[in-house]
Amino acid sequence: MTSPRTIRTAILLLASSAALAACASKAPKQLPPDPGANVSTNTAQEPVQGNTITPGSQADFVAQMMGQDTIYFDTDRYNIDSADMTALQAQAQWLAQYPGKRATVEGHADERGTREYNLALGERRANAAKNYLVSVGIDAARLSTVSYGKERPVALGSDEASWAKNRRAVTITID
Amino acid sequence: MNLRLISALALVLAAPAAAQQSLPTPQPTEQVPEEGLSGAVSDDSDWQDLGIAIPAFATDADVPTQTSAGSTAALGMSLARVINDDLKNNGLFKPVGPDALPRPAFGEVQAPAYDTWAGRSAEMLVQGYVRAAAGGQVTVGCYLYDVALKQQLAKAGWTVAPGDWRRAAHKCADMVYSRLSGESPFFDSRIAYIAETGPKDRRMKRLAIMDSDGANHRYLTTGQTTVLTPRYSPDYRSILYLSYFNGSPRIYIYDLESNTQRLLLQSSNAVFAPRWSPDGKWVLYSMAIAGNTDIYKMPAGGGAAVRLTDSPGIDIGGSFSPDGTRIVFESDRGGSQQVYVMNADGSDQRRITFFGGRSATPEWSPRGDQIAFTHIAGNFRIAVMTPEGREMRYLTDSWQDEAPTWAPNGRIIQFFRTTRGSGKAGIWQVDLTGRNERKLATPVDGSDPAWGPLRP
Amino acid sequence: MAVSALNREERIGLAIALAAHVALGAVLIARPAAAPTIPLPERMTVTLSEDVGLTSTAPSVADPAPDEALELGEAAPEPAPQPTPVPPRPEPKVQPKPEPKVQPKPVVTKPRPAPTVAAKPLPQPTKAATPPKAAPKAGPAPKPSNAPTTAPKGATSTARTPNAAATQPAKAGGSRIGSDFLKGVSGATGKQATTAPPAATVGPAVRSALAGAISRQLKPKWAAPQGVDAELLVTVLSWDLNPDGTLAGSPRVVRQDGITDANRAQAQRHAEQAMRAVRLAAPFNLPPEYYPAWKRVSDFRFDRKLSQ
């Protein structure tokens, strides 16, 4: 049972977040994400000036998630298992906490696939993660996806352990 | 094109002519068993490469040219070297180049000293001449002789702009190759590919082009943006490719005449796997909407796109049959990557690969008789099959070979091979017998080769 | 053919290259050692059994087809260049070296080089074997020349043959095989067979030995074109020979088999190469006394056997 009061707060919150989202959606125009291929997505996490992490920043997100910013998939699969759900729910909580933030889900594949199929597969994985986030209440308009196929591995070996780490969907928040 | 054909009389001389004449008449006369002698002879030796001598091309007067090779005499040497390298690299011939041979006199070009060449392990002889032509152009003549039979087999000549002198050599090599192999020519063609440098997790990928022999190499993009999967347009004027220029994968067209690039189509969705139709009028692309990838077709000049597939799985890629009526593509609608064909309007989609494992990246041969693809079952191997999905034959066996592309004559396939561990990739080629495999020399690592058609 | 034209180093290089290919493309697994290929004997036997019933071998000397004939087939494996011009063949140890290289200098010119070696010296054998000049062209009139059953006529000719054979060694400067290479074959004439069969009575064993001799002389010159499915191609040629072993006219294609979509481009090359082999192998070195039997080669098959 939710009290009228909570409902009112919720509405207010929603409205403000919508407004914020509207503002935010204007901004991206200027920041065509990544013109340089080599700006690895991981570098986006580095800016941890000193010890102070600005709440609501990507650095904060990474710190809070403790690894749960990434979910992993089996070979050629894109289904969300229970471990993934736990991680995505944590992400959703953070996103709910900072309703002004948008996020991009990056989909990746391991090197043991053909290039173009891997692009499509990465897109599918990113989309699976996005869909789950939407299903737990995150506005789809705040989420985008991008696939890198097998172009950006995090584990460099050519073995099952490395491949498992590379079959992933990583959520990156946009400040 | 600056290449003018003087006499394309690639004379198919006496012997084949005789063959054709006599083919229809199977000797109706005497078939009495005891009349003529019958017997058989088998060539059971190992595959033998045909010995071909390629001395420097002669010149009537050694004068300067505007070519990068120097004077006509120096150019004559360079031409023969290029021809030698072309013919050396496909496993049919064992050419001996100009550096090891005497240069024939100008007058000998059309009257070879057969006896001299017979003693030089040459069964065939390629001779030619170079002459300075009007307007800085050069004229190149090319002759092929059967040394043992003392017979001319073919000849041709071209007048080319200084910058195109290598093309004259490729044309000559093409003449020799097709006369002696029965196949269509392919040396005078170009290749687009992705040049790769840097560590495995941050590879720099640049669009690059080169001649079929690696010459005239040029980078088209700087490497700041990842680019993938180029495809030469049939007229060599532009290249379709995928770029992350705006942060997500989209298809761009690089105009080789103006050296500019533009987005093929505006979309908020991921767009990849661009392909030309054989006539250059259509472009196939694959687009992912909400994770579901389908294949679309649009006019190359812009206009409304048509969706060709609508399965819930990933439908991607696509390669037209040479007549443009059918498209072979890959789909995982049945649970795993397999190869399908459909009509060019999207109708009649049928799976054709049932070989176990997965089958990907199909490419229709320019001759129409074969489809090359990547077969995945443990290793990734290049294979070919008929358009009906029969008679699969492996051409390579390595840890990871993928993305075949056909030579213009449909007899040779390039692909890229990735090294386990380092992830370094190189461009390789193999002929349809699978016997002749070699790595292409590129300045840096390479992947995603795309062979253009024979140049006009 | 290529091999014969290469010098030793190159041949070694080629062998290495091939070995490397084998290692690389494990697809077409090679049996390691290049076992000397000896398909010929087989072929000969086949011909034998086929023909046996058709012709009568005159000799009463029920001599079983001898080892030597078989040896003959086996002994001629590959173009082992053996420069020895082979003087008068001493005797039996038939060891045909149907070597290409050795070919009497005036190798290939046009189809009909002036009678090089065999021709001039021996009018006798030709004579014995029926009117020579006329015979070649007179294809349609087989009767007199070949008809094996015409024992009587044959008999007379045989009578003469020995002489011819006797003189032969002397003249056969360029002949590496010598006319006595048929020695052991049943139905063949030879010194010891003097009493026996008529020359014109060319029995199946002789015929197959002649075919074998031709095959061996063609072999070093015959190189099938490469290509997908090219090994499926078969070209059957016919050609006529002058008494001196030179070509009379051009070889003709009787038929081609094994053409597929994949090898269609090579079919014409295949025929061309086969005809080239005949041109290069001519003049053929064959026993003159059997000219009637070899003046017309009506059905000669050129194919490719993968050595694995």
CA dist C134 and C111 (Å) reads 19
* Same domain (yes/no): B263, B243: yes
Average pLDDT for residues B16-43, to the nearest whole number?
Answer: 55
Contacts of C237 (CB under 8 A, 6+ apart): C251, C252, C253, C254, C271, C274, C275, C278, C297, C300, C302
pLDDT confidence band for B89 (50 / 70 / 90): confident
Name the residue range of residue B53's domain: 4-14+49-181
pLDDT of B82 above 60: yes
Inside any domain, residue B27: no
Residue B433 sits at the chain C interface (C-beta within 8 Å): yes
pLDDT of B320 above 60: yes
pLDDT at C18: 56
CA distance B367 to chain A (A): 25
Tell me which residue has tokens 């192999």.
Answer: B181
The 3-class SS string of B202-263 reads HCEEEEEEEECCCCCCEECCCCCCCEEEEEECCCCCEEEEEECCCCCCEEEEEECCCCEEEE
Per the CB < 8 Å rule, is B332 touching A117?
A: yes
Residues of chain B with Cβ-Cβ distance to A33 below 8 Å are 246-248
* Same domain (yes/no): B327, B402: yes
Give the domain CATH number at B419: 2.120.10.30
* Same domain (yes/no): B251, B384: yes
CA distance A32 to chain B (A): 6
pLDDT of B99 above 80: yes
pLDDT of B231 above 70: yes
Residues of chain B with Cβ-Cβ distance to C51 below 8 Å are 33
* Same domain (yes/no): B208, B165: no
Per-residue pLDDT reduced to its tens digit, B342-362 = 999 999 999 999 999 999 999
CA dist B437 and C21 (Å) reads 8
pLDDT at C2: 44
Chains C and A touch (3+ CB pairs under 8 A): no
Tell me C285's DSSP state: -
pLDDT at B178: 93
CA distance B432 to chain C (A): 6
Measure CB to CB from residue B40 to each of C55, C269, C303 and give the nearest one: C303
Per-residue pLDDT reduced to its tens digit, B122-165 = 899 999 999 999 889 999 999 999 998 999 999 999 999 999 99
pLDDT of B98 above 70: yes
Chains B and C touch (3+ CB pairs under 8 A): yes
Q: Which of B27-31, B79-83, B402-406, C288-292 has the lowest mean pLDDT?
A: B27-31
Inside any domain, residue B42: no
What residue type is assigned to position C283 of the chain? P
CATH top-level class for A52-174? Answer: alpha beta
Give the domain CATH number at B70: 3.40.50.10070
* Same domain (yes/no): B197, B327: yes
For B21, other C-beta atoms within 10 Å of its C-beta total: 12
Q: Taking CA atoms, what residue in C is nearest to B13? A: C272
* Same domain (yes/no): B166, B196: no
φ/ψ bin of A126: left (φ > 0), alpha (ψ from -120 to 50), beta (otherwise): alpha
pLDDT, greater one: C158 or A137? A137
Per-residue pLDDT reduced to its tens digit, A32-64 = 333 333 434 444 444 445 568 889 999 999 999
pLDDT confidence band for A8 (50 / 70 / 90): low
Closest CA to A75 of A28, A125, A30, A23: A125
pLDDT confidence band for A13 (50 / 70 / 90): very low
CA distance A125 to chain B (A): 7
Residues of chain B with Cβ-Cβ distance to A126 below 8 Å are 291
Task: Tell which of B181, B216, B251 closes a domain.
Answer: B181
Average pLDDT for residues B234-256, to the nearest whole number?
Answer: 95
Residues B436, B91 contacting (CB under 8 angstroms): yes
pLDDT, greater one: B455 or C183? B455
CA dist B344 and B295 (Å) reads 11
Residues C297, B39 contacting (CB under 8 angstroms): yes
pLDDT at C20: 59
In chain C, where the domains are located = 35-302
Indicate which of B240, B272, B416 best probes the interface with A, i.e. most A CBs within 10 Å of its own CB.
B272
- String of DSSP letters for C221-275: G--PPPSTTGGG-EEEEEEEE-TTS-EEEEEEEEEEE---TTTHHHHHHHHHHHH
Per the CB < 8 Å rule, is B314 touching A121?
A: yes
Residue B45 sits at the chain C interface (C-beta within 8 Å): yes
Residues C99, C107 contacting (CB under 8 angstroms): no
Residues B60, B104 contacting (CB under 8 angstroms): no
CA dist B261 and B255 (Å) reads 6
* Same domain (yes/no): B361, B226: yes
Q: Which residues of chain C have pLDDT under 50?
A: 1-5, 27-180, 184-199, 308
CA distance B288 to chain C (A): 38
Residues A163, A110 contacting (CB under 8 angstroms): yes
Residue C224 sits at the chain B interface (C-beta within 8 Å): yes
Per the CB < 8 Å rule, is B200 touching A156?
A: yes
Other chains touching C, judged by 3 or more CB pairs under 8 Å: B
Inside any domain, residue B44: no
* Same domain (yes/no): B241, B160: no
pLDDT at C53: 31
Per-residue pLDDT reduced to its tens digit, A93-131 = 999 999 999 999 999 999 999 999 999 999 999 999 999
In chain A, where the domains are located = 1-31, 52-174
Per-residue pLDDT reduced to its tens digit, A70-92 = 999 999 999 999 999 999 999 99
The total number of structural domains that make up chain B: 2
CA distance C264 to chain B (A): 9
CA dist A130 and A171 (Å) reads 9
Which pair of tokens denotes residue B29?
């006369």
The CA–CA distances, whole Å, from B178 to B10, B174, B382, C230 equal 10, 6, 25, 15
pLDDT at C213: 93
Residues of chain C with Cβ-Cβ distance to B411 below 8 Å are 227-228
